Structure 1
Amino acid sequence: MKAPLFLLFIPFFFLLLSGFSCSAGPDLNDDVLGLIVFKAGVQDPQSKLASWNEDDENSCGWAGVKCDRRTGLVVELTLDGLGLSGKIGRGLLQLRSLRTLSLSRNNFSGLLNPEITQLESLRTVDLSGNALSGPIALEFFGQCRSLRSVSLAGNRFSGQIPASVGDCLSLVSLNLSSNWLSGSLPLGIWSLYNLRNLDLSANFLAGEIPIGVNRLFNLREINLRRNRLSGRLPDDIGDCLLLRSLNLGENSFSGRLPETLQKLKLCSYLILGSNDLSGEVPTWLGEMQNLQSLDLSNNGFIGRVPDSIGSLRFLKTLNLSGNSLTGRFPESMADLTALTDLDFSKNSLVGSLPPWLFQFGLQKIILSRNNLNGSIKFSTASDQKIQILDLSANMIYGSIPLEIGDLQSLQFLNLSHNSFTSSIPETFGRLESLQLIDLENNSLTGRIPIQIGKCSSLTFLILSNNNLSGPIPPNLVNLTSLQMIDLSHNNLTGELPKRLSELPHLISFNISHNLFSGEIPTGNFFDHIPPSSLSENPSLCGSAINLSCHTVLPKPIVLNPNSSSSHSPQNSSVYPVNFNHKKIILSLSTLIAIGAAIIITVGVITIAVLNRCVRAPASRSAVALNISDGYFSQSPATDSNSGKLFIFSGGNAEFSTGAHTILNKDCELGRGGFGTVYKTVLSGGRLVAIKKLTVSSLVKSQEDFEREIKKIGKMKHPNLVALEGYYWTHSLQLLIYEFVPSGSLFKHLHESSESNSLSWQERFDIVIGVARSLAHLHQHKVIHYNLKSSNVLLDATGDPKVADYGLAKLLPKLDRYVLSSKIQSALGYMAPEFVCHTVKITEKCDVYGFGVLALEVLTGRKPVEYMEDDVLVLCDVIRGALDDGIVEDFMDVRLGGKFPVEEAVSIVKLALICTSQVPSNRPDMTDVVKILELIRCPGGSQGEELS
């Protein structure tokens, strides 16, 4: 009886919402009805709102509801992090005494109802961490009355910040961070005299900060990080005398630091990293004596580090990396006894390591890529808390100190690319927290100490390019966290421990250019280890290198094609001249690729026949398509085939123009395996991309189609193109995606001019962004199947967004001929198991495609290129370059040599591991992300979350 009774109340309640209530003021039942109607529009999979019962006299005992003790009216609604979804309905407008509305960390979608701020008692609104979208209406701030705190962070709001924000004179806190807001900063913000906290970070805001910041004299925190703001920092910013935190990092600000900053005596956090600031680091920074964190990294600062830096007695974090600083460390830095994190990497500092470096409780020391020399000298009396020690790429010499074994908190140790000449200390065995040891490119001698086998947390062991001798310690097989072992280019001897194959997480094992002998272990990773990782060990034998321990197998087949082609790729000059005419040895991957090409040809013919049957009725429907009141409909004669456009976020589902805009050739953006993509405009002016599917005869039933599409629509990640809706009839299906303005990665890699080519930083961001998106998909059991550079789009800030994910699930079955021809149409990206019917298709197919894509991004070359007399497979080419130690010669010439060789080689190694012939030897994408983050900042934080 409850459900029918509730339905009787609904019409009455909507009369109340329309202003026809006979009551002169709110009563208890208004609150109950308002919340029940709100609940009716909400999906509650965990039954968190089970206590909300329409039969109750009041709602004061309901979950998340608080009432005023005197009046019994609802004053607070807090439903944070309950897994709720749906729309924030108008039922809340009936809570006339509501003071606090907090619905953060849910999955509410749709447009923001500006009427919420009409509630006269409302003081706090927190809708952060949802999926709300569209523009922020002028009325939202225009009716804000006595609102004091607003947080809309972590949604998908777009457009400009309304100028009416300046009308909310009572605002104390405004947080619009992590949205898609664009345009310039509205002048009205500088009229909010009561404002204490302003956070507009992680948007697309552009332009300059206008003069007038000093009017915000109550401001305590301002965060404009990660936007597109430019120009000089305003001179009056130092007049915000109460400012405690100023974060303007990751923008394009230029010029020198304004001297008025020195007036910020109360400022604790000054973050200006990743801009285009220039000049010398000013001496007056020493006047900001309350600073606890100073970040001027990745700018254009020159000259010496000023002595006045030693006056910052409360300083905990100091980051001046990525500049052009010269000279020695000032002696005054010995007074920075509160310092915990120090990063001066990527500068031109000289001299020996300062004695104070190991005398007080530093936790993070990163001084890589400088010109430092001398030896490491520890203070025996100090209480060491070092977790990260990175002194790589300097000129430090002498012995590796035994005292490193006393650093019980040490997790990451990188002393690579120096001139150490000692043996590896046995004291390393005490470091149970150690995850990375990187000592490559030194002159280390002696044996690998057996004590390393006690480093139970060790994940990466890199000892290549030294003079080490003796065997591999047998107890390394006990380090079950090991993922990467690189012992190449040493003088190591003996047999390989057979139990190495039992390491469960091993993804890379390189012992090339040593003196190992005997049989290579078999099983797991070693069944398909790349032969290049074992090369130049004359006495090794085993199936991994096609060399029997008793007999020698015949030489591999050699391909010497006689192509009649008279042309070659435009940018073939990237490869060394003598490589273009090199005979190709048919590796397993090449043989599989040739077989796959034959199968793909058959598949293409099959799909062409299927498409011919589909194209005629689909195109006829398209021609007759009209739009009215949010519906697609055909002519009256075919009205039975009409369907409704569904937008996940709700709101108006109309297009601004007719059908010709959707299907007009002039609006076409591109064509792919699943269909053609067009650009169109929703009412309200928002651009979207429409994919018209051309596999209608292969698509599942409407029920299955909608179930799969809605699953894809729930995939939300900064590096995924958002699916915003769909349209269905039996003869026509459309998918509505967010519009990504800067085109495909393919276009930027292969069709852009040298002046517009991607920088190294942009390429690294693309590789790690794609990796994060795939990790997110795999965590939600979604396989992409179709990863390639034409399916990676770049947004306005250059961030990658992966498209076309999950669409294979629309097909009635994962037919491999269809997948290999229709979806995996780019031969070079296709994992070898696609041509083997006995191997299961898994997420490892995406890992393979990612490895190829990463090499494509770094080299600027296509996965497969057809030369005048050769076929070049990119993976094979780069694997050979790695063996020859000339990987840097194959990086995109448009980089002009401006890239860190160590990072490039590390990414190449990881990419080649991802393209292992056997799926089980490829790492998971979550591990790939972790390794990339380690490559970018060895020993640093893991950066953004995977999902």
Structure 2
Amino acid sequence: MNIFQFRLRVLSLLISLSYLLRCFGNIDVPVQLNDDVLGLIVFKSDLQDPSSYLASWNEDDVNPCSWQFVQCNPESGRVSEVSLDGLGLSGKIGRGLEKLQHLTVLSLSHNNLSGSISPSLTLSNTLERLNLSHNALSGSVPGSFVNMNSIKFLDLSENSFSGSIPESFFETCSSLRHVSLASNMFDGPVPGSLSRCYSLNSLNLSNNRLSGNVDFNGIWSLNRLRTLDLSSNALSGSLTNGISFIHNLKEILLQGNQFSGSLSTDIGFCVHLSRLDFSDNQFSGELPDSLGKLSSLSYFKASNNFFSGEFPQWIGNLTSVEYLEVSNNQFTGTIPQPIGELRSLSHLSISNNKLVGTIPSSLISSTKLSVIQLRGNGFSGTIPEGLFGLGLEEIDLSRNELSGSIPAGSNRLLETLASLDLSDNHLQGNIPAEIGLLSKLRYLNLSWNDLHSQMPPEFGLLQNLTVLDLRNSALRGSVPADICDSGNLAVLQVDGNSLQGNIPEEIGNCSSLYLLSLSHNNLTGSIPKSMSKLNKLKILKLEFNELSGEIPMELGMLQSLLAVNISYNRLTGRLPTSSIFQNLDTSSLEGNLGLCSPLLKGPCKMNVPKPLVLDPNAYNNQISPQRQRNGSSESGPVHRHRFLSVSAIVAISASFVIVLGVIAVSLLNVSVRRRLSFVDNALESMCSSSSRSGSPATGKLILFDSQSSPDWISNPDSLLNKASEIGEGVFGTLYKVPLGSQGRMVAIKKLISINIIQYPEDFDREVRILGKARHPNLIALKGYYWTPQLQLLVTEFAPNGSLQAKLHERLPSSPPLSWPIRFKILLGTAKGLAHLHHSFRPPIIHYNIKPSNILLDENCNPKISDFGLARLLTKLDRHVMSNRFQSALGYVAPELACQSLRVNEKCDVYGFGVMILELVTGRRPVEYGEDNVLILNDHVRVLLEQGNVLECVDQSMSEYPEDEVLPVLKLAMVCTSQIPSSRPTMAEVVQILQVIKTPVPQRMEVF
């Protein structure tokens, strides 16, 4: 026991003694000790104060009223307020606070406090304001630690609290004005008892895991409510009428949930509403006309829903709106001219709808407009001239039917524009020279137009340009030599044009370039050696040009290079010695004159000095000068008529025989196909409908667990639109779709058309095999839809998104994954993979293990998606393989990346090992710095060998058990072994993880 603990124990005994002496009434107590001193000193003893902010808290003082960060009531002399916000304190909240019986304000926000709140902790009945936000507190919230009868302000946001919010928590909350439980890990439903907090002004439950239907009738009864934030949960239900009773309501934030149905028709009668966000839900129907009455509305976002009908004509009535986004819906019609009356409008996004007509010229009256996004509609006509006269920062008019020329920008636009996307239209004419004066331009995309223009040399003046995309725009001329004068260009794409001439030597000045694509042009000359200066280059595409000569050996020094395509040129000679060139696929090399590679069968032509003595038989009967001088005619006449050697004749004969064989096999194959087609047609005529176990009917939705199918499938493309798209992978695009009359959400994968099984019986058999792979940690395959042109897979929908989003794309306001959750994800994923590997013969190989294919349910239980989809391919086509290696960089086992394709269970084990490293470190498998590339596997292995491996653990985790993290990291090293046979099976991985999780005997606490 140190001196501080000793003095604290003595102080506690003195206070207890003083209480005993007072019981005798007449005994004078010489020392009057204060409960507040004891309480604060005990509270301080549980804290770590690295900056000594609490140095003035001295246990020898009679009272704490002079202490820093403490305030007392001047009448009673008792502590009324403790405010320790942002002092960098760590530790836990101890029971010393119970001594502060007159406390009204306790604020401990923006510190590093951790641990759980003791269920026995009870704060003062006089407490009115409690702020514990922005800490690392965890566990459940005790129902009795705060007296809800007196509390007015309660903020527990930005912590790691978990469990459900107790229904009893808000039973007595008549004084509560503000409550925020945002950015925690609360689950379960929203307590119905909240409707008893009739004095509530602000309710924020955002960024949790709450689920279930919300009783909006109860919420609408809170007629003093001003702010309602339920965003980023998994809540469902529909908005009912009755909202108009909340006269003071200013903000409704419901984005990122599963709310459905139409918006309440009386929402526009809340005349004080200034902020509405319904985005990323499943709302449908038309926007209520009453919204046009919201003259105070400044922020309106309804993107990523299923809203439909004519684009509202009342939009011009929202005179105060500054931010307007309704993209990714199904609105039709035209944009009304009155939209130009929105003089406060700064952000306009109506992308990915079904709007037509022209872009209203009245928009030029919105002089404060800075962002306009009209992407993915059917707008036609020309771009309004005046639009480029505004001080816009972003213009996105891509994927429309616009024609005419690109307007020249005004002086105001030249000073503000940072992003311009006019791609995928029908624009014509020259690229304006004024474009080189856009001093802040970072992104320029004019691809897929009919410009028939030259690349203006003014591009080199764009000092901040990082992306330049001019693909398929009918450009002519040459690549400007000063294209990279700024040194900031990172992406240069000019594929599919008619560019001529040499690749300029100055291309080596593009020091920031990581993607260079000059393919499908008419470029000539050699590949410049200066490309070897592009140290950040990752992708190089030069295919389908007329480049000649040898590839500079210096290109092999580019350590960052990941993908190269030099096919269909006139290149000759050896390939650079680096691994990327030596392991190129045939498709990246073919079509050249004489490249030297074991993958190519053509002649290998080297630029080497000619020999002094030539074989006269090898060059069409050329007689050597020596023989001419000697007059030798030995075998001369014979050789003059012998154009082909014996070996050549044999090779040609063999080729002729092979060709005849191929023709015979092809004819036989056609005959067999015709017979099979005849049999299929006969069977189809005999079987008018398919049973659950028989051959599926073309164009019918087959659900494995249901006798009936919904009627939406008559036009599946109507639902598989951009608004319902939630992801895209190697095997196809994923959509979120309501199924049947109940609106139950499912995920539908629209498969790629390349090499998918084209016979319904074979497709049905393979899909049903995958459908039998049922396990709590696998995404359930519920059915499919098949036609020769369209194949869909119907799976369950995971409401919590992917591990990729939670781990690498987390918003700053979202809490990081705790270690228990990370371990749960690891163990569950391992169990799911073990089921695929060991419960089926032959085993089902996932083929693409990575965090984007690990989905999370409402309780963060992992569910593996996209397993076994390679079974649906007739062969692993080059497109699929190349996309897989690009999208799974860092997860691919070395035997797949460097040798011929050999898919087995050990490849999945390798990907799982890399995923372990990601979950423990929070880092991506491959990270690119300015001067180097960090391979996570190698980085952790080096730290492990040095004995410093815990330095790589994700710092966002507030706490973690070292006796679990260390063996998990060692397991990852074994799983990512370069030798496949050294990796464990997934069944062994599950056993190891379960042993690691087995708790050690509890250590005796020292009192």
**Global fold match (TM > 0.5):** yes
The 1-side partners of 2:796 and 2:381 are apart by: 29
The one of 244, 263, 266 equivalent to 1:236 is 266
Quick one: which of 154, 160, 169 aligns to 1:140? 169
Instruction: State the SS of the aligned residue for 1:150.
Output: strand
Asked if the contact 1:30–1:95 (Cα under 8 Å) also holds between the matched residues in 2, the reply is: no
Identify if the C-alpha distance between structure 1 residues 792 and 171 changes in structure 2 by more than 3 Å, giving closer, same or farther: closer
The one of 261, 281, 287 equivalent to 2:311 is 281
Task: Tell me how far apart the structure 2 counterparts of residues 64 and 308 of structure 1 sit (CA, whole Å).
Answer: 56
Cα drift, residue 388 of structure 1 = 1.2
2:455 alignment partner, SS class: coil
Q: Does 1:416 align with 2:416?
A: no
Partner of 2:299: 269
Q: Aligned Cα RMSD in Å?
A: 5.0
Shift in Å, 1:166: 1.6
Contact 1:772 1:929 in 2 (8 A): no
Whether 1:460 and 2:466 are equivalent positions in the alignment is no
Q: How far did residue 214 of structure 1 move?
A: 0.9
Does residue 73 (structure 1) correspond to residue 76 (structure 2)? The answer is no
> Partner letter of residue 134 of structure 2?
R
Among 125, 143, 162, the residue aligned to 1:114 = 143
Separation in structure 1 between the aligned mates of residue 568 and residue 62 of structure 2, nearest angstrom = 83
Are positions 1:356 and 2:386 aligned together? Answer: yes
TM-aligned CA deviation for residue 474 of structure 1: 3.3
**2:176 is equivalent to residue 129 of structure 1:** no
* 1:208-227 correspondence to structure 2 within 5 Å: 208-227=238-257
Secondary structure of 1:277's counterpart equals strand
CA contact (8 A) 2:778 2:865 kept: no
- Give the counterpart letter for 2:270 in structure 1: C
1:512 pairs with 538, 543, 548, which one? 543
Give, in whole Å, the separation in 1 of the partners of 2:797 and 2:503: 39
2: CA distance, partners of 1:231 / 1:455: 52
Residue of structure 2 equivalent to 1:534:
566
- Corresponding position: 1:157 with 2:159: no
Question: Where does residue 897 of structure 1 map in the other structure?
Answer: none
Aligned amino acid, residue 533 of structure 1: N
Q: Which has the higher contact order (CA 8 A, sep 6+)?
A: 1
Contact 2:891/2:925 (CA < 8 Å) preserved in 1? no
**Within 5 Å, which residues of 2 pair with 1:1-150?**
1-6=3-8, 29-35=34-40, 57-58=62-63, 67-68=72-73, 71=77, 73-75=79-81, 76-89=105-118, 93-95=122-124, 97-118=126-147, 122-150=151-179
Distance 1:53 1:110 in 2: 32
Identity %: 35
Partner of 2:467: 436
Offset, 1:226: 1.2
Measured after TM superposition, the shift of residue 506 of structure 1 is 2.5
Matched residue SS, 1:139: helix
Which residue in 2 is equivalent to 1:770? 804
Identify the match of residue 785 of structure 2 among 754, 758, 761: 754
Who is 1:939 aligned against?
Answer: none
Name the structure 1 match of 2:208.
Answer: 179
Separation (CA, whole Å) in 1 of partners of 2:799 and 2:541: 24
- Does the C-alpha gap of structure 1 residues 91 and 879 become closer, same or farther in structure 2, counting only changes over 3 Å? closer
Count of aligned positions: 664
SS for the counterpart of 1:206 is: strand
Task: Quote the Cα distance in structure 2 between the aligned partners of 1:315 and 1:117.
Answer: 44
SS of residue matched to 1:397: coil
For 2:432, the equivalent position in structure 1 comes to 401
Quote how far apart the aligned CAs of 1:262 are: 1.6
Counterpart code for 2:426: M
* 1:32 to partner: Cα distance: 4.6
Deviations 1:645-687 (A, max 9, x none): xxxxxxxxxxxxxxxxxxxxxxxxxxxxxxxxxxxxxxxxxxx
2:228 pairs with one of 167, 187, 198: 198
- Give the secondary-structure state (helix, strand or coil) at the position aligned to 1:754: strand
Q: Distance in 1 between matches of 2:865 and 2:112?
A: 43
Relative to structure 1, is the Cα distance of residues 289 and 39 closer, same or farther in structure 2, using a 3 angstrom cutoff?
same
Which residue of the other structure, out of 484, 494, 502, is the alignment partner of 2:515? 484
CA contact (8 A) 1:156 1:179 kept: yes
Q: CA deviation at 1:215?
A: 1.3
Residue identity in the other structure for 2:459: F
> What SS does the aligned partner of 1:84 have?
strand
**2:371 is aligned with what amino acid?**
D
Residue 299 (structure 2) pairs with residue 299 (structure 1): no
DSSP 3-state at the match of 1:294: strand
Distance 1:524 1:65 in 2: 67
Tell me the secondary structure at the aligned position of residue 85 of structure 1: strand
Shift of 1:445: 1.4
User: Aligned runs of 1:747-896 on 2, under 5 Å?
Assistant: 747=779, 752-754=783-785, 770=804, 773=807, 803-804=826-827, 862=868, 872-873=875-876, 876=878, 878-879=880-881
Q: Which deviations, in whole Å up to 9, do the C-alpha atoms of 1:32-51 show, x marking residues without a partner? A: 55455556666778887777
More divergent stretch after superposition (295-304 vs 82-91)? 82-91
**Paired amino acid for 1:350:** S
Tell me which moved more, 517-526 or 279-288. 517-526
What code does the residue aligned with 2:180 have?
S
Please give the alpha-carbon distance, in whole angstroms, between the structure 2 residues aligned to 1:858 and 1:499.
46
Cα distance in 2 for residues equivalent to 1:858 and 1:432: 45
1:273 & 1:821 partners in 2: Cα distance?
A: 44
Indicate the SS of the match to 2:368.
Answer: coil
Task: Quote the offset at 1:545 in angstroms.
Answer: 5.1
Alpha-carbon distance, 1:858 to partner: 15
Instruction: State the partner residue of 2:340.
Output: 310
> Per-residue deviation at 1:530?
6.5
Contact 1:520 1:540 (8 Å CA) reproduced:
no
Once the 2 structures are TM-superposed, how far is the Cα of residue 929 of structure 1 from its aligned partner? Answer: 14
- Displacement of 1:379 after TM fit? 4.0
Is the alpha carbon distance of 1:752 and 1:276 closer, same or farther for their aligned partners in structure 2, counting shifts above 3 Å? same
Structure 1: state its 5+ residue gaps: 559-576, 582-741, 784-790, 794-800, 809-819, 831-845, 883-906, 931-945
The aligned amino acid for 1:773 is L
Q: CA deviation at 1:496?
A: 2.9
Deviation at 1:500, TM superposition (A): 3.2
Does the 8 A contact of 1:115 with 1:139 survive in 2?
A: no
State how far apart, in whole Å, the 1-side matches of 2:799 and 2:491 are: 21
- TM-score with structure 2 length normalisation? 0.58
**Counterparts in 2 of 1:217 and 1:765: CA distance versus 1, 3 Å:** closer
Q: Is the counterpart of residue 320 in structure 1 residue 350 in structure 2? A: yes
1:361-399 Cα distance to aligned partner (Å, 9 max, x none): 111111111111111011444443111111111111211
Paired letter, 1:74: S
User: For structure 2, which runs of at least 5 residues remain unmatched after alignment?
Assistant: 26-31, 82-104, 583-588, 603-668, 674-773, 832-836, 856-862, 899-909, 911-917, 931-955, 958-1007
Q: State the one-letter code of the partner of 1:236.
A: D
Shift of 1:320: 0.9
Amino acid corresponding to residue 79 of structure 2 in structure 1: L
The 1:444–1:216 alpha-carbon spacing in structure 2 relative to 1, beyond 3 Å, is same
Query: Deviation of residue 351 (structure 1)?
Result: 0.7
CA distance in structure 1 between the aligned counterparts of 2:529 and 2:24, rounded to whole angstroms: 86
Question: What do residues 232-270 of structure 1 show as CA deviations (whole Å, max 9, x unaligned)?
Answer: 111111111111111111111111111111221111112
For the residues of structure 2 that align with 1:317 and 1:551, how far apart are their CA atoms?
A: 53
Deviations 1:549-598 (A, max 9, x none): 9984545699xxxxxxxxxxxxxxxxxx99xx9xxxxxxxxxxxxxxxxx
Counterpart of 2:1000?
Answer: none
AA matched with 1:490 = N
Indicate if the aligned counterparts of 1:205 and 1:227 stay in contact, CA closer than 8 A: yes
How far apart are 1:74 and its partner, in Å?
3.3
